[in-house]
Amino acid sequence: MKVTLINPPRGEKRNPVIEYLFFNSPPLGLAYIAAVLEKKGIEVDLIDTLVERLSLSGVMERIDHFAPDVIGITSTTIFFTNARETANRIKKKKPEVPIIIGGSHITTNSEELIKHSCFDLAVLGEGEMTIVELLDAISGRRNIESVKGIAYRKNTKLRVTPKRERIRDLDSLPFPARHLLPIYKYSPLPNDEYRLPKTAMITSRGCPYHCIFCDHSVYGNLYTSYTPRRIVLEMKHLVDTYGIKDIAFVDSLFGISMERMEGFLKELEKERMDVTWTCNIRSDTMRSKSLLKRMKEAGCWRVRIGIESGNEEILRFIKKEMSKEQIKRVVGWADEVGLQSKTFFMLGHCPDTRETMEETIQFALSLPSKDVTVQINTPLKGTEQYTLYKKYGDLVSENPDDYSFFQPVFLPRGLTYGDLIRAQRRFYRRFYLRPIIWWRHLRHIRRFSDLKKYFRALKLLLYLLFFNLKKKRTSKPVGAKP
C-alpha cells in the first residue's frame, strides 16, 4: 500500500504575519504518522505544500507520479477551506482513491464529513494507531466499525466510532519522518531566529490546565510526555543527522513542572551537544530562579510565557490559574539570568472592556520581556469559551478562513471590530516603539545576517502597526437580520 499525506495549499495570499506564524515549522503531526506507517512497511509521500510552494496543480502532479492507494489531509480550522478545495480537486480526478481528513477541526466538527463528500473518512483525535487500523479496514483486513476514533458515512448518515484511548507510552513512537520533508527550507520568525539551521520538536501531548479558550479536541487534558532520555536522543538525532543548531520545543507546555525540567536538564547535560533551544513555561510552575539559570547554562536562550491578560479578574475568568505577581516574578527572573522572554497576550476576552485592555497593555509594558505576540480572542467550537460566549458578545463571522487569532470574529459587548484592531495596533506600537526594546534587540546584533533578520522583522512590525490584517466584512452578529 502507498499513502500520500498532505498539508494543503494555502490558497489566496494571506498577510505576512499569518504566513510566518503558520508556515515556519514542519507539520510534525503528519511526520509522526508517516513514521508509523513506514515502520509498518507502507510507502509514504509527505507533501508540505506550504514550504514547498506547491499549488493544487503541483499537488496533483505529485499524486499522479506517486500513485497512492490512500490520501490523508490534515487541517486546522483556519485552513479547512484549503483542505476541502484540495480534496475536491483530487476526488474529481481520482474518485476511486479514499481521502481521509484529520486534525483539530474535523475532530471537533465531525459533521463536516456529511457536508463534504470529497472526504470519505475522518480520523478523530490522536492519529498514529488509528490510521494503521483504518488502512487495514480500507484494504479489507478488518471491519471498519471496529476501528476506534473515526467517522465515516453509511447510507448517507454519519457514523462515529467510540473514542480511541490516548497513547500513554510516547517513547514507543518512532522519531518523526523528517527525511520526507525539505527540512532546511523552514524559516523561523525573524525575532525567533537565533542559530541556523533551526527546527521544531514536540516532547509532550495534552495539557492538564483548563484555560477556557484552548482547543483540547485532539489530546484533551491528559498530559503525556516522552521520557527525558528519549527527548535528548531525538535532539542528538537532529544534531547528528541534519546539523541542527537550534531547536524550538513547541509543546503546549514544555515546563509543566520543575521535576520534568530538572530530569530533562540532567540528561541534556550528559550529552554536551552544540545546540541551543527555546520552550514554553508557566509562571506558576517555574518556582526557582536557579532552575532558569541552569536552563540558560544548558543552551536555552528564550522562554515563551502565555500571559493573556493584565487584569486579575479576567485571568480568573479564563482559568489561567496564575497571578500577575507570579508572572512578573518569573519574567523578571528570566531577564536576570539572561534569558530572552517572549510574552503572549490576547485582547477581546469575553469580559474585556477598553479599560481592561488598556490595563493589559500597561502590564505588558511593565515586564522586562524582549518580544510580544498579541492575538485576538477567538472562540473555537469545542472550547469551554464556545459554550458561554453568547452571554458576553456576538460572533461576527463563522467563516473558518477568518479564525487566525489575528482578526476579530467575536466582539465583546461594548466593543467594535475597530476597537479590537486599534487596541492590537496600539499594543504593538507602545511595546516596540520604546528605546529600551530597541536596546534589548540591538545589543544582540553580532553579524551581518542579524541585520538582514531585523530588516525582515521590521517589515512585519510595520504591517502590524499600520495596516489592518483583513478588511472588515460585517459588524452584524452571525444570524442577525440584514
CATH number at residue 149: 3.40.50.280
Specify whether 37 is located in the same domain as 76.
Answer: yes
Place of cell 506564524: 21
pLDDT at 432 over 70: yes
Say yes or no: 436 and 318 in one domain.
yes
Stronger pLDDT, 157 or 439, i.e. the higher one: 157
pLDDT band of residue 481 (cuts 50, 70, 90) is very low
310 and 444 housed in the same domain: yes
List, in sequence order, every residue forming a beta bridge with 410; answer none if it has no partner: 395
Tell me the pTM. 0.92
Residues 203 and 64 in one domain: no
Same domain? For 199 and 294 the reply is yes
Digit-coded pLDDT (tens) for 280-321: 999 999 989 999 999 999 999 999 999 999 999 999 999 999
| Cα distances (angstroms) measured from residue 449 to each of 194, 239, 293, 379, 394 | 10, 22, 28, 39, 46
* Residue 478 placed within a domain: no
Domain span at 65: 2-160
Residues 239 and 123 in one domain: no
Does residue 482 lie in a domain region? no
- The structural domain count of the chain equals 2
Classify residue 476: in a domain, yes or no: no
What pLDDT digit, counting tens, does each position of 253-273 carry?
A: 898 888 999 999 999 999 989
Shared domain check, 192 and 152: no
CATH number at residue 429: 3.80.30.20
Is residue 169, in this structure, part of any structural domain at all? no
Q: Does 146 fall in a domain?
A: yes
Residue 481 located in a structural domain: no
